[in-house]
Structure formats: C-alpha cells, structure tokens
Amino acid sequence: MSINASGWRPEAPQQGTSAAPTFTGNKALMLEEALIFEIGDIHTTGVDFSSPSPRRGEGRGEGTSASDGTPGNPVQPLSPTLSPEGRGRLGNLARTAAIGLPGLSEPETVRHYTRLSRQNYGIDLGFFPLGSCTMKHNPRLNEKMARLPGFADVHPLQPVDTVQGALEVIHQLAHWLVTLTGMDSVAMSPKAGAHGELCGILAIKAALEARGEGHRKIILVPESAHGTNPATAAFAGYRVEDIPATSEGRVDTAALIARLGPDVAGVMITNPNTCGLFERDMRTISDAVHEAGGLVYCDGANFNAIVGRVRPGDLGIDAMHINLHKTFSTPHGGGGPGSGPVVLSKALTPFAPLPFVEKTGAGFRLVEEETAEDHHAHTFGRMVAFHGQMGMFTRALTYILSHGADGLRQVAEDAVLNANYILRSLDETLVAPFGHSGPCMHEALFSDENLAEGFSTIDIAKGLIDEGYHPMTMYFPLVVHGAMLIEPTETESKAALDQFIGALRSVAERAKAGDVALKTAPHFAPRSRLDETLAARKPVLVWKEALAEAAE
Ligand SMILES: *Cc1c(COP(=O)(O)O)cnc(C)c1O
C-alpha cells in the first residue's frame, strides 16, 4: 500500500456506512470481546477438583459434590460447605457463600485472553513513537539469555554459593554502567526510573545530613521536567521550586544560579531534556550548585541519545538513574517490569543503599549489611527487599555485550539521526517550537498551534490510531502548547519512519483543514473516543452483577 504523503485521502470510507452490522459485532478479524464477567459463569470451571476427603472426626460436608470429570460441566462453587467442626477450626474465616469468580472452559479462557491481547498495541506490532519512553525493539537474544534456567529460576534466598553466575551478571552490568557513565559506583536495586530518582535523592539527603546540613530543604526543578522529578523531591520531604526555561527550550542557567543559596539541597535536571535538547550548560550548572553547597541529580531516562558519546560523570553529576528498560532495551510499557539503577559520584557512594555485589578472591559476595570498612559505610538503608530485577539485568547485560562499545555509540547516533529526520520532515506541516534551537537529540517536539480552530493535539493522536499507530506523547512537556513528543529510537528503518511521517502529515493536514470526521476519530478502533478523564478519575473496577448473583 502506498501512503499519499501530501494530504489525506478524502475518499477513505467511513466505517459502517456501506456494510451492514454483523451478527457477532466482529468486523472480520477485529473481534468483539465482552468482559470475562459477561461471558463467564460462576458455575463453570476449566479445572476439575476432586472432593476433599473427609478427615477423621469431620463429617463429609453437605453440598460437596465431585465433578463428573467433563471439562466445562457445571460443578458446585469451589467452596465445599464445611461441617460445624470444620467451620469451628477456621473460626469465622470459613467462606459462607460462593466466591463469585467467572469461569470458562480452558479453550474459552485461552481465546478470551488471546482476543484481548490482539486489541493491545506493542512494539512487536508497529512503530511506537511515545516520546521520553524509548520504545525500542527488544532483541530476541536478550529473551533467550533471560530464560536460561540458571538465571530465570534462581531464588533470592538461595545460598550465595549457588548463585555465583547471577551475582557475576549483576557485577558485570554494574561495571559497564559505571564505565559508560564515568561515575564512581552504582546502586542496582531500584526497580524503575522514578524509584531510582528516590534512591538518588535519599542518597543526597543522607550526604547533606551527614555534613550537618539537613536544613537545606529546597530542590530546584526545571519547568520542563518529567512529573516524577518534583514528585520524588516532594516525597523525600523537599520543597520544589521551578526554574524557568529559555526561549531555546533549555534551563535558564542564570535564573538557576541566581536561586542557589544555603537553603538549596540540590537540583534535578534531565539531560538530554524533555524538549529533546542537550543541556549544554550542565558543567557550569554543576559547578555552581557544588560551590553553593548543593548536589546535582540528573534524570538519565534519555541516556539513549548520548550513550557512548557523553559521560555524565564528566558533567559534574552526583546521581543519575538509568532506565535499563529504555536505554538498554528490555520490554516495558503497561506497567513494567522496569529497572532503574542509580550511578553515584564519589561524594554519594558512601550513602548508597544495600545490598551490593562485591568481587572477592574466589567469587562474588552479596553485601547485605553495612560495615565500617566497606565503601558504602554510611548507607541510607534499602530500596527493596531483595537485589533488584534479575531478568532486566540479564537482558541489559546481553544488550550491552552484544552491541559492544562501537554498537552502543551507534545506537545514540542513529537515535538522534532518526529524530532529526522526523523533526525536519514535519517542521513545515506542524510548528516545531524549538526547531530554531539546532538539531534535536533523541526526540522531536511539535505544538498544535497551527491547527484549525477547535482542533488540538488529541485529534491528531486519535487520527493516528485509525492509521494503526500508538499515539506520540501528548501535552508533555508542559512548556509547549499542545505538545507532541515523538521518539523514534534507533531501531526504526527509514521506510518505517517515512510511512509514519506520511501518516502524521496526512492527519495534521486534516486537522489544519478542519476535517470534522477527525473530531470523532478513532473510527476503526474497537471503541471510539472515550472519556479518558472520567475513566481515570472514576474507574469502575468491580463487576457488581456477578457479586450480586454470587450472593444469591
Ligand atoms: C520514563 C521517565 C521517567 C520515569 O521512569 P519510570 O521507569 O517510568 O519510573 C523519569 N523521567 C523521564 C524523563 C522519563 O522519560
């Protein structure tokens, strides 16, 4: 199929205008799927349980019936009625009514979840332009390594001498993260970027308290920061003050330096920033913050744009989280799993959280408690119960080793090249508010300023769904009106980028021409425009009918 790159196709058929609705509601392979509560039945089960045999002194409970062994046949609810004696043993914890969970036969269950999975969008299905999220292809080699039983089946409480290989993976990955960032040490346990932010800020807090400067209560955060930055600072007990951006889309260095003083604990700066630009004054900012007695946190979520090219340690940074699930592949989205190791400067290393892996003469040791002589002598505590995300560690190390130093450098270069290709291909169709600030880094930023009256970024996002794409990041960063933040990553081919550029140009032209059909898009998705605010604020999480039926 060829995409008309210059405009929309006015002859594109509207769904349902010429075809009669189907009996099932299915549209060929676009399958309607009801909730499991609507298609399931509390009397159906895909599993046969044999009746519990009565124990001595305990009569067989009335109503306990064996299944006849035929899958899918009605059986009694999975809660045998207990004898008075059995009930006595459970106290008032014995269930008195059916649990009310819907049941399906095994094939029905498999189909239900397979159908639902087809309504999802993933990186294995198509280009995923979500800015700031670095949605890159996950090499299958990573998956193969992570599934090796020696990594996949280890238990965090296993004796250390039985998990030497897993500890070596953590140790090697830590080594490469420290090398790539030019920092002093790394805390491996945080389980996401935001969790890493908290780890870094708690290390900063511990360092300040150790020097008797716990009274420093303010963290400076640029206006364009990811929402997790001010949230982290506030969660750790700091007051957040905004630093404005320049018209170029970078931190206003003069304003930041002017605000420094004895009440400032530190700054949190994203570099490259969320406008897709490199903060060129980073070294100047770090020096000024240190001179004023503060510490520098860098949000490293966008490290993909500079990996192998820039070492944050050279920029005077004290703590930075790395989203393994962004820069070093590993699947993410839909809530996890993530992994957010935090690299630390010499000043913060003594305060790093436990545990950490250390090489000994004979092998590897897991340091779980602080000792006066180790290099984390003033640890602030722990971030997690165990040691971090083993599966993510294995994938990230596989990614680093299979790319090598030259490959990682090329990742950054190609990611930046792809983003600039998108920026320059669309900056005449859409407004690029920082297009004048020079080449972008890993992501291209547009605003909705030149659309027709009444049209906004949301309409473009919904139009992209009809074109078969997951929308870009919308309305973020807040410093740009109706922001559209597009991050292609290095793993998209030129053909894939050209098709996306054609689709976005087509949708944008429709929004500029005031095509009213776009206001009700998506037309081809299983559900059209939803009230997302209502869904987020008042989610309906309980299926009341099933509970009512179960209670009967
Ligand atoms: C993704 C992201 C985060 C948060 O990382 P999570 O792993 O989602 O917690 C923080 N800052 C920026 C700039 C990000 O893109």
Which residue's CA is minimally distant from atom 8 of ligand 1? 193
Q: Decide whether any atom of ligand 1 lies within 6 Å of the 332 Cβ.
A: no
Which of 416, 452, 386, 64 minimizes the C-alpha distance to 272? 416
Which residue's CA is minimally distant from atom 5 of ligand 1? 193
Q: Are 372 and 115 in contact (CB under 8 A)?
A: no
The residues near 307 (Cβ < 8 Å, ≥ 6 apart) are 180, 327, 408, 409, 411, 412
**421-525: CATH topology:** Aspartate Aminotransferase, domain 1 (3.90.1150)
Q: Residue 475 Cα, ligand 1 centroid: separation in angstroms?
A: 16
What are the sequence ranges of the domains in the chain? Answer: 154-398, 421-525
Which residue's CA is minimally distant from atom 12 of ligand 1? 301
Which residue's CA is minimally distant from atom 6 of ligand 1? 193
Q: Decide whether any atom of ligand 1 lies within 6 Å of the 276 Cβ.
A: no
Between CA 64 and CA 375 the distance in angstroms is: 62
Strands in 354-501 per DSSP E: 356-359, 364-367, 444-446, 473-474, 484-486
DSSP 275-291: TS---TTHHHHHHHHHH
Q: Residue 275 Cα, ligand 1 centroid: separation in angstroms?
A: 14
Q: What are the angstrom distances between the C-alpha of 511 and each of 459, 462, 497?
A: 7, 11, 21
Q: Decide whether any atom of ligand 1 lies within 6 Å of the 330 Cβ.
A: no
Q: Residue 266 Cα, ligand 1 centroid: separation in angstroms?
A: 19
Which residue's CA is minimally distant from atom 15 of ligand 1? 132
User: What's the predicted TM-score (pTM) here?
Assistant: 0.86
- For the chain, the C-alpha Rg in angstroms (whole number) is 28
Q: Residue 117 Cα, ligand 1 centroid: separation in angstroms?
A: 25
Per-residue pLDDT of the chain (552 residues; tens, 9 = 90+): 334 444 444 444 455 456 788 998 888 888 889 999 889 888 888 777 777 776 655 544 444 343 333 344 344 444 455 566 666 677 778 778 777 788 899 999 999 999 998 888 889 999 999 999 999 999 999 999 999 999 999 999 999 999 999 999 999 999 999 999 999 999 999 999 999 999 999 999 999 999 999 999 999 999 989 999 999 999 999 999 999 999 999 999 999 999 999 999 999 999 999 999 999 999 999 999 999 999 999 999 999 999 999 999 999 999 999 999 999 988 887 666 899 999 999 999 999 999 999 999 889 999 988 877 777 779 999 999 999 999 999 999 999 999 999 999 999 999 999 999 999 999 999 999 999 999 999 999 999 999 999 999 999 999 999 999 999 999 999 999 999 999 999 999 999 999 999 999 999 999 999 999 999 999 998 889 988 899 999 998 887 765 566 565
Between CA 366 and CA 168 the distance in angstroms is: 10
Q: Decide whether any atom of ligand 1 lies within 6 Å of the 193 Cβ.
A: yes
Q: Give the architecture-level CATH label for domain 154-398.
A: 3-Layer(aba) Sandwich (3.40)
Q: Are 348 and 203 in contact (CB under 8 A)?
A: yes
Write out the two tokens for 369. 């408690």
